[in-house]
A and B are shown apart, each in its own frame.
Chain A
Amino acid sequence: MAVAAPLGGYLMRLLAGLMMGASLLSAATHYLTVAGLGGEPEYEQRFSGWARDLDKILKTVPDARPETLSGADATRARLEAALKRLAGEAKPDDLLVVMLIGHGTFDGMEYKLNLAGPDLTAVELASLLDRIPAKRQLVVNMTSASGASLVPLQKSDRAVITATKSGTEKNATIFARYWVEAMRDPEADTDKNEVVTALEAFRFADQKTAKFYETQKRIATEHALLEDTGKGEGVRTPSAENGQGLLASRFALLRMGAAGAAALTPEKRALQNTKEDLEERIDQLKYRKAAMATSDYRKQLNALLVELAKVQAELDK
């Protein structure tokens, strides 16, 4: 889980740790992936390919409950049915992740997700999501014009990510390609704790998307946004300054390796407490870094990190 420095110090880490601990014990994560209408064979292949890749990744994750609708299955009726079923199945402690791939449209008033048959508006989608008891939700709308869906979808305890900054960015997007990559590339897990958070995945996909346009020497036609307070404006770079990103930084999008399994035994609880204590002290030290002599900072950091490494080694035995 990434609790990035700009989002706060050790208190944030502690909070986040506690929340994660809770979710590790009992919660499940429900994933619903929708690859909408491509219109042309090239897009059909691209969208359903990304959806297939996501589905494959999620099927390997413990406690994950993935469902994927693509091609002819991606109809309004099937999507509504899936969300209604989740409204019955999901528990309040569960996590819900909805990922939308494809084309979206915005007529100046309303965003619509292009599906086989009738489309679905952002307002209609929000209404269906509101009925799902899972308290923490993540909606990743990776379609063109998806920026227009941000306001209708935003809600307290729901992080919303859109591939475009507005409804006027209408070109087909590639953000989804890098979102999929974030879920399988260890590089996305920037704090190396074997959990990719929504914030880490957002930053990864956003940076890779920007790089794509930069290296192709093309004008970027998509600028992703994140909003997770339920009331603010979507931002390009979540930080403590703009108040965005806290929920996303705690939202475990994907657990990899040991972190996926790990319920702590009582014997290791003491070690875990020591570990958390050391992590807090490291955060405190980092907070004081600017006011310290470099050599002193380095010495203290080394000492704390060595202690932490030893505790981790014990925990891993």
Chain B
Amino acid sequence: MKLLVLLLLAVSAWAGPAEDCWAQRKRGRLAEAGSCFQGLTRSPVPLLRAEGFWGLGRFSDANDQFRVAEKMDPKNAAVKVRWGRMFEERYQPADAAKLFEEALEIRKDYAPALFGMALVASNSFESKAVEFAGKALEADSKLVEAQELLAYLALEDSNPEKAVKEADKAIAMSPEALDAMAVRATIDWLNDQPSSEWIERILKFNPRYGKAYATAGHFFVINRRYEEGIRYYRKALELDPELWEARAELGVNLMRLGEEEEARKHLEIAYNAGYKNAATVNSLRLLDSYKNFKTYKTPTTILRLHKKEDEILAIYFQQELDRAMAAFHKKYRVKLGAPVQVEVYPDHDDFAVRTMGLPGLGALGVTFGYVVAMDSPSGRKPGSFHWASTLWHELSHVYVLAATKHRVPRWFTEGMAVHEETAVSPDWGDRLDPTVIKAIQEKKLLPVADLDRGFIRPSYPNQVVVSYFQAGKICDYIAQKWGYDRLLQMMQDYADRKATPDVIRGRLGMEPAAFDREFLAWLDGQVGASVKGFAEWSKRVRGLSELAKAKKHDEVIREGLAIRDLYPDYVEAGSVYEFLSEAYLAKGDKAGAMRQLADYSKQGGRSPATIQQLADLQIEAGMKKEAAATLERLNYIYPQDPEMHRKLGSLYLEAGNTSGAVREYRALVGMKPLDAAGAHFDLARAYRAARKNEEALEHVLLALEAAPGFKPAQKLLLELNAK
């Protein structure tokens, strides 16, 4: 009988005293809320005890009571949803989602469970969030939380008009819809209004509702306005110092801007208070790992490199950083207000910590104001990315963000960055890949006015990749048709907070829909042949592979030449270029093989082994200048192969390019090769050729210190001492 009473109590539990306690808290009456939750912990109903412990921050006890409640009534969807909400709050989305799903199995249209699913999807920027929130509202039209979430999601989707509408609906549903009001306040602030009536209304209701400012912090951050985001997180904490999520976010974003000391302070406070989500823990770990990095400074740059590779990467990264900044300074006509900091991570997981909680970011590099974080060439399989292209891409963001004071839509800054990559050299940047071809075939490219959605809340796998491509091509198109200066003018419009449709109308003199039509026609001229030829290419390239396996070299050449240009952008593993070169080599036609490999390289092929093979063939054919250029290109892809530096150093030395030879042999020495004596000797020779005898002597001594009997080095030592 007692059990039955408890079960009945549990079913209706949430609607009762627990809700009152949470309401007290929402109104900022913390002492009253505390007493209320304390009272719940003494309830005979496990679900109420769970709510009480949760409200008091005793999550482990709350978890135990939820378990008891669930055991007593395994078919109670409300218990599962409340338990799931606690998991969701305690950054265990997988456990939360499982409980919400279980609740939905019990009650198919249970609105709180649908809302729970919406929350989980929202936290990982999944497009399903909107769908779940909509379904929750369909099931319960009075579910204010779901309506508030729709407002929040619309703003994340860069649609402030819709966000306002959704927020107003929530406010009409409840005068306590503080989170909807926070969305309204955020929109005001994003529009550079210094004050907002909405924050006044919020604070009147709850003077300690720091979450409203934290909401603003989140939106400023995802709009890449990090400094302002930080400012709002600080305000949030002034009102409610125990807003741990906001404190952790403050720490993460301070770290992004290079304010590491203060970042650590906030992250540690959050961590010690039990806020141990992945971003907090990983950021603290990353801060700890900084002792393993070395910093190189110039008046305009700060380069942070891991000590295991700093000597070699400093040579190439500093050179490219200086070159890119000089180019962008001239192109964008922007003077940066602080040095640019570039951090290069050999461990991709460390880099990934930098991008946590940000939607739609490329996986290779990320820019936070004046701070760029990126993968090291050693952080990925050699040949899988072009580090210099990534560096230029990110540095373009630095300039575009500075020029627009971070008021630029995602598509435009990404488009400019992608455009700049291929502007340096056509073989840089990403190729037309099958994902993009498929999107074009299925007419999935977005209208320019909606392109941001493709980055922030993709609706199909790889839409972010497709959106990068499309944004880049749009900028290419504008630069080609209206001139590069028009892009700069558009940038200025964005700085003035104009929306994309207005920018298109004002600068390009047409409606966005007309622009989309013209762009697609232009794009068809650019890539239409590959898009059309792709299906046939895919089919026939499999046959080509079979012919190659069977060593039918003549047939490989015939078929390879027939299909290669159906889809010339394909330079990944198993490319037609490589099949052809292998067939030519098998037939003893080195010139033929070299031609194919040269085309492969020109098209942007990045396999270090294949590029090395081309260089070797060129050396063998006496084309040393071309071989040096081939290997120089490899420096931008994978500079961590000692053999390549040795070869290129030798080519440069032979050609009388002593500065090139010195650079290459310095890189070799920097890699601390097993053959240290040989590397120092080579560098000494290069210095000697450059008439830098002091440096030559230093390195020949280092060579002989390692190998006193090294005869060529002995000879050079005698020569240098004879001077």
- Contact surface of A with B, Cβ cutoff 8 Å: 186-193, 203-204, 207, 214-217, 278-279, 282, 286, 298, 301-302, 305-306, 308-310, 312-313, 316
Contact = CB atoms under 8 A, between A and B. Distances in A.
Contacts of B451: none
A306 B718 contact: yes
Interface string B686-719: 0000000000010001001111111101110110
B674 A305 contact: no
Contact of A305 (B380, B676, B677, B708): B708
A192 B380 contact: no
Q: Which of A193, A215, A286 has the most CB of B within 10 A?
A: A215
Contacts of A193: 707, 709
A192 B674 contact: no
Nearest to A309: B714
B677 A192 contact: yes
Contacts of B381: 215-217
B674 A312 contact: no
B676 to A, nearest CB: 7
Contact of A306 (B380, B382, B717): B717
A215 B674 contact: no
Interface in B4-24: none
Contact of B718 (A216, A278, A309): A309
B55 interface: no
A306 B719 CA distance: 10
A305 B676 CA distance: 17
Q: Which of A204, A279, A308 has the most CB of B within 10 A?
A: A308
Contacts of A286: 705
21 contacts: A186-B675, A187-B673, A187-B678, A188-B675, A189-B675, A191-B706, A191-B710, A192-B707, A192-B711, A204-B674, A214-B378, A215-B382, A282-B708, A301-B705, A305-B717, A309-B715, A309-B717, A312-B709, A312-B714, A313-B714, A316-B711
Given A305-B701, A305-B717, A308-B714, A191 B707 contact: yes
Nearest to A218: B381
A190 B710 CA distance: 9
A214 B705 CA distance: 30
Interface string B651-691: 00000000000000000000001111110000000000000
A89 to B, nearest CB: 33
Contacts of A191: 677, 706-710
- Nearest first, the 3 closest Cβ-Cβ pairs linking A and B are A309-B714, A192-B710, A192-B707
A203 B708 contact: no
Main secondary structure of the interface of B (DSSP, over half): helix
B717 A301 contact: no
B316 to A, nearest CB: 17
A203 B711 contact: no
A97 B602 CA distance: 48
B721 interface: yes
Given A190-B677, A313-B718, 8 more contacts: A187-B675, A190-B675, A193-B707, A193-B709, A215-B381, A217-B381, A279-B708, A310-B718
A190 B707 contact: yes
B673 A305 contact: no
B711 A312 contact: yes
Contacts of B675: 186-190
Nearest to A289: B705
Contacts, number: 78
Contacts of B705: 286, 301, 305
A217 B379 CA distance: 9
A316 B718 CA distance: 15
B713 A192 contact: yes
A214 B709 CA distance: 33
Contacts of B378: 214
A187 B678 CA distance: 7
A257 B389 CA distance: 46
Given A217-B381, A313-B718, A186 B709 contact: no
A203 B715 CA distance: 28
Contacts of A313: 714-715, 718
A207 B709 contact: no
Contacts of A310: 718
Q: Which of A186, A278, A309, A310 has the most CB of B within 10 A?
A: A309
A142 to B, nearest CB: 19
B678 A192 contact: yes
Contact of B701 (A214, A217, A302): A302
A190 B711 contact: no
Contacts of A216: 381
Q: Which of A186, A187, A203, A278 has the most CB of B within 10 A?
A: A187
Given A301-B701, A302-B701, A313-B714, A308 B708 contact: yes
A286 B707 CA distance: 12
A188 B715 contact: no
Given A191-B706, A301-B705, A302-B701, A217 B714 contact: no
A1 to B, nearest CB: 10
A302 B713 CA distance: 12
A308 to B, nearest CB: 6
A203 B674 contact: yes
B706 A190 contact: yes
A220 B54 CA distance: 46
Nearest to A182: B674
Contacts of A298: 701
A214 B382 CA distance: 10
B351 to A, nearest CB: 14
A177 B517 CA distance: 57
A190 B677 CA distance: 7
B718 to A, nearest CB: 5
A282 B701 CA distance: 12
A305 B715 CA distance: 11
B674 A187 contact: yes
B714 A305 contact: yes
Contacts of A186: 675, 678
Q: Which of B705, B707, B721 has the most CB of A within 10 A?
A: B705
B78 to A, nearest CB: 46
A279 B705 CA distance: 10
A305 B717 CA distance: 8
A215 B607 CA distance: 12
A181 to B, nearest CB: 11
Nearest to B708: A282
Nearest to A200: B674
Nearest to A204: B674
Nearest to A193: B709
B677 A302 contact: no
A244 to B, nearest CB: 18
Q: Which of B380, B381, B711, B713 has the most CB of A within 10 A?
A: B711
A147 to B, nearest CB: 23
Contacts of A279: 708-709
A308 B378 CA distance: 41
Interface string B471-500: 000000000000000000000000000000
A105 B675 CA distance: 34
A308 B713 CA distance: 11
Nearest to B348: A217
Contacts of B640: 215
A220 to B, nearest CB: 15
A306 B676 CA distance: 20
A203 to B, nearest CB: 6
A214 B675 CA distance: 19
A254 B87 CA distance: 65
Contacts of B382: 215
Q: Which of B678, B707, B710, B717 has the most CB of A within 10 A?
A: B710
B308 to A, nearest CB: 11
A303 to B, nearest CB: 9
A216 B697 CA distance: 38
Contacts of B676: 190
B204 to A, nearest CB: 57
Contacts of A203: 674
B222 to A, nearest CB: 31
Contacts of B709: 191-193, 279, 308, 312
A257 to B, nearest CB: 10
